[in-house]
Amino acid sequence: EFFSGAGAERRGGPEARIPRTVFAVGDEKQSIYSFQGARPERLRQEARTYAALAHGAGRPFEQVPLDTSFRSTEEVLAFVDAAFEGPERTRALVGVSGDIPTHHPARVGQHGAVDLWPLYRDPVTPDREAWNAPVDKEDARSGRKQLARALARAVREQVEAGTAVHDRGGEMRPARWGDFLVLVRRRDALFEEIIRALKAEAVPVAGADRLKLSSHIVFDDLIAVARFALYPDDDLSLAEVLRSPFCDVTDFGDAHSLYPLADKEGREGRSLWRELQLRAGEQPQWGRARDFVQAALDARDRDPFAFFSSLLNRVDGTGVSGRGRILARLGREAEEAIDETLAQVLAAEDRGGVDLETCVALLEAADVEVKREMEGARDEVRVMTVHGAKGLEAPIVILPDTTSRAKPQGPTLMPAAGDDGEEGEGWLMCPGSAKDDCPASKAARDARVARTDAESLRLLYVALTRARDRLVVMGRAVRRPEDGFEAGSWWSVIAETFRRPGEDDPLNVRDIGGGVLRFGVDPDAAAAPAAIRPAPVVVPAWARSPAEADAGARFAAPSRMDETARIPAPSPLAATAGPGAPLGRFRRGDLIHRLLERLPDLPVADRPDAARRMMSRERDLDDDQRAEMIAAAFAVLDDARFAPAFGPGSRPEVALTGSVAATAVSGRMDRLVILPDRVLVIDYKTNRPAPARVEDADPAYLLQLAVYAAILRDLYPDRAVEAALVWTDGPRLMAVPQALLDAALAE
């Protein structure tokens, strides 16, 4: 209790008593997480409650507006203020009608601009397609593809021209790839098309901020190959493999297509694999497919990572590798899915999937969604949702997803509407269709629509205020209505605003050519970078030829070189535990590893917030579990004894390949520190309790470090190589003596 009784004061010394205070910060204009239960009106309710308590206790209470922006230029802020003028939009942002405090820029004298591009429309007469073309194939001239290509070209041209942006110190410098942030409302076809277009223009792009691996076609193709290798009579899996980029057999229409090969009557009861073996000589394409499938069968007894990587790296008679075939058909955006699948294969091996069958079961049960951190300093264009960009910023922000109105989502059980149209106390089961509404259900449905529209405007506010220097607004015309955008869409707000800022502002809105409207100043051209595109590299012939196999080499991952045990594959029927349930054997370690991998690359001051954001995405954890794992990570990061491990010259998650004792090794080191006089390899361990002596550590851990150290000595013969275990329980840094490493290798 802060306002009455003994809790209203705290001791400041032997006699002094200091009144306790409350300091709360919130911005209801940025409340965009209703799907997580966020309700912006609660901030106002809590403010009124605290005001009443403070006044009742005779204490001061102040609501201080935070109206100074340290991020955006005055033109961007002026546009935001103009966009949210009027009682309806004010009510959407702060819940009450009235004026919102005008934004004041801290960056006085630094100027920017807001651009509105014309809408991109679908062609009136679509291209005529062959009768057997996929019915859902999009016209190459569609508005979505036009928009994506124009966006990608604009980014490339601005970087090549050296378009100027402000750095943190206020000085002008040429724009870089990492200065562009593309924000969409959802990860849909436009999201994927933009990434594809950026890669087609050779623009470095960070890829999707989230990658749902199990729904990606690359993952499906690789799993199909593994299923067939495990069970060659699986006709469906083999058909999937034949249609995949690995074999590239068409469905039908040609003599070498899949249909005449898979015809059930023609096969006379034979499996598809047996039919392919018998008829491989009839068509060259069938012959190449037979060779690939046979290679998969030959590799099925190898380690899972070796199985998949050998097929991806296998070069066929045409001189193209499996990876190359995937990229040729699916584009460069498939590269990330390939690499992440291989990373998950390695992770499955570490969890006990030491054979192909168990590994496939683990991969299919995992349902992996990779959440990529977009706060790093990599010089790449970022494409992400507005929700994912909360807290981020960029010199140039592009909004391409603007012409559709947000659609209400949720069950037919809706909060009943009160007399004022706001959410009432009770709940109402409404009809599935609005045409069947009664007055009460219509009021509840209208209230839901109003809440959705209000949150859509708050989402627009968040999107607009991510920009430091410039905003670029684009859109694809919808079919209805004819003007190309829906009422209540972001485009309707922005286009209407473009007709107003020039009334009182000397900059005015003007057409800069091509139908593009600009509010603000034209960006200057700074000195262009010396070289944007590197000179083409001539690939030698040996790089496209299969490497000679090592006669007696084995292949292993260091983390399981002495493991023979298998763990049971998880059942797909296993129930998912709720928040606060005990963590599984590997979950805690995986999450702490992730924190230790990503946080050291961020500024020290930004790490706590980044850690909380990362852990908040783990919805099955409760607050205590999140706090415990964050504390374990920071106990290591903040310990001065570990400073060299996270200082200059250190890198996380470093892949390592080499050979030890006639065994080919491929693994990943948790942390590698390369100094002028020595090399330090570190492995994190989250076991609790941690052993008191290094001699008591699991022999598998010592062998893993011994293998890493042996390979590193070959790579850095002029430097001392040291190995250490970092136990998060303690925390404790445990150097591993060379004698123990030698003994582990000898065994």
Rounded Cα–Cα distance for residues 459 and 469 (Å): 19
Would you say residue 528 has pLDDT above 60? Answer: no
Q: Please, which residues bridge with residue 183 across strands?
A: 384
Q: Are 164 and 173 in contact (CB under 8 A)?
A: yes
- Write the DSSP symbol of residue 281: G
Per-position b or e across 499-535, b if 16+ CB within 10 A of its CB: eebeeeeebebeeeeeebbbbbeebeebeeeeeeeee
Q: What average pLDDT does the chain have?
A: 81
At 389, the pLDDT band (50, 70, 90 cuts) reads confident
Q: Is residue 317 part of a domain?
A: yes
Residue ending a domain, choose from 371, 397, 415: 371
Least confident of 86-95, 191-200, 202-211, 479-488: 86-95
- Write the DSSP symbol of residue 60: -
Q: Is residue 741 part of a domain?
A: yes
Sheet of 381-385: strand order equals 205-208, 381-385, 180-184, 394-399, 467-473, 113-116, 517-520, 509-511
Rg (C-alpha) for the chain, rounded Å, is 30
User: Cα–chain-centroid distance for residue 504?
Assistant: 42
pLDDT in tens, 552-582: 444 455 655 554 434 444 444 443 444 555 5
Q: Which of 302, 135, 331, 304 is nearest to 217 (CA)?
A: 331
Count CA atoms closer than 13 A to 334's CA, side-chain side. Answer: 19
Q: Are 364 and 356 in contact (CB under 8 A)?
A: no
- For the chain, the domain total comes to 3
pLDDT attached to residue 450: 84
pLDDT in tens, 174-220: 999 999 999 999 888 899 899 889 988 989 887 666 778 888 899 99
Q: Is residue 263 part of a domain?
A: yes
Quick check: helix, strand or coil at residue 259?
Answer: helix
| Residue 598, token pair as written in the block | 């990503």
The answer to whether the predicted template modeling score (pTM) of the entire model surpasses 0.85 is no
CATH of the domain at 229: 1.10.486.10
Residue ending a domain, choose from 356, 371, 386: 371
Rounded Cα–Cα distance for residues 705 and 745 (Å): 10
CATH of the domain at 650: 3.90.320.10
At 588, the pLDDT band (50, 70, 90 cuts) reads confident
Work out the average pLDDT over 281-292. Answer: 88
Q: Which of 490, 486, 470 is nearest to 478 (CA)?
A: 486
Instruction: Return phi, psi of residue 689, to 5°.
Output: -80, 155
Q: Are 195 and 207 in contact (CB under 8 A)?
A: yes
pLDDT attached to residue 639: 78
Work out the average pLDDT over 722-735. Answer: 81
The DSSP secondary structure of 435-450, one letter per residue, reads: GG--HHHHHHHHHHHH
pLDDT attached to residue 137: 64
Q: Please, which residues bridge with residue 113 across strands?
A: 470, 520
Would you say residue 158 has pLDDT above 70? Answer: yes
Q: Are 262 and 239 in contact (CB under 8 A)?
A: yes
Would you say residue 691 has pLDDT above 60? Answer: yes
Q: Is residue 578 part of a domain?
A: no
Q: Is residue 116 part of a domain?
A: no
Nearest 10 degrees: Cα torsion 73, 76, 82, 85? -90
Question: In 3-state terms, the chain is what percent helix, strand and coil (to 5)?
Answer: 40, 15, 40
Work out the average pLDDT over 426-454. Answer: 86
Would you say residue 45 has pLDDT above 70? Answer: yes
pLDDT in tens, 636-681: 888 776 777 787 668 888 888 888 876 777 788 888 988 888 899 9
Q: Are 689 and 579 in contact (CB under 8 A)?
A: no
Would you say residue 273 has pLDDT above 50? Answer: yes
Q: Among the residues of 57-126, which ranges form H helices?
A: 74-83, 87-94
pLDDT attached to residue 91: 74
pLDDT attached to residue 463: 92
All residues at 6 or more sequence positions from 72 whose CB lies less than 8 Å from its CB, including other chains: 80, 103, 105, 107, 112, 465, 467, 468, 469
pLDDT attached to residue 447: 85
Would you say residue 602 has pLDDT above 60? Answer: yes
Q: Is residue 163 part of a domain?
A: no
Rounded Cα–Cα distance for residues 443 and 417 (Å): 6
pLDDT attached to residue 9: 66
Rounded Cα–Cα distance for residues 519 and 81 (Å): 13
Residue ending a domain, choose from 325, 344, 371: 371
pLDDT attached to residue 182: 95
At 545, the pLDDT band (50, 70, 90 cuts) reads low
Rounded Cα–Cα distance for residues 339 and 334 (Å): 9
Most confident of 10-14, 149-153, 379-383, 457-461: 149-153
Q: Which of 208, 203, 150 is nearest to 179 (CA)?
A: 203
pLDDT attached to residue 576: 42
Q: Is residue 326 part of a domain?
A: yes
Would you say residue 505 has pLDDT above 60? Answer: no
Least confident of 10-19, 307-316, 709-718: 10-19
Q: Please, which residues bridge with residue 673 across strands?
A: 650, 680
Q: Is residue 258 part of a domain?
A: yes
Domain span at residue 267? 213-371
At 309, the pLDDT band (50, 70, 90 cuts) reads very high
Q: Please, which residues bridge with residue 663 across strands?
A: 554, 660
**pLDDT over 90 percentage in the chain:** 23
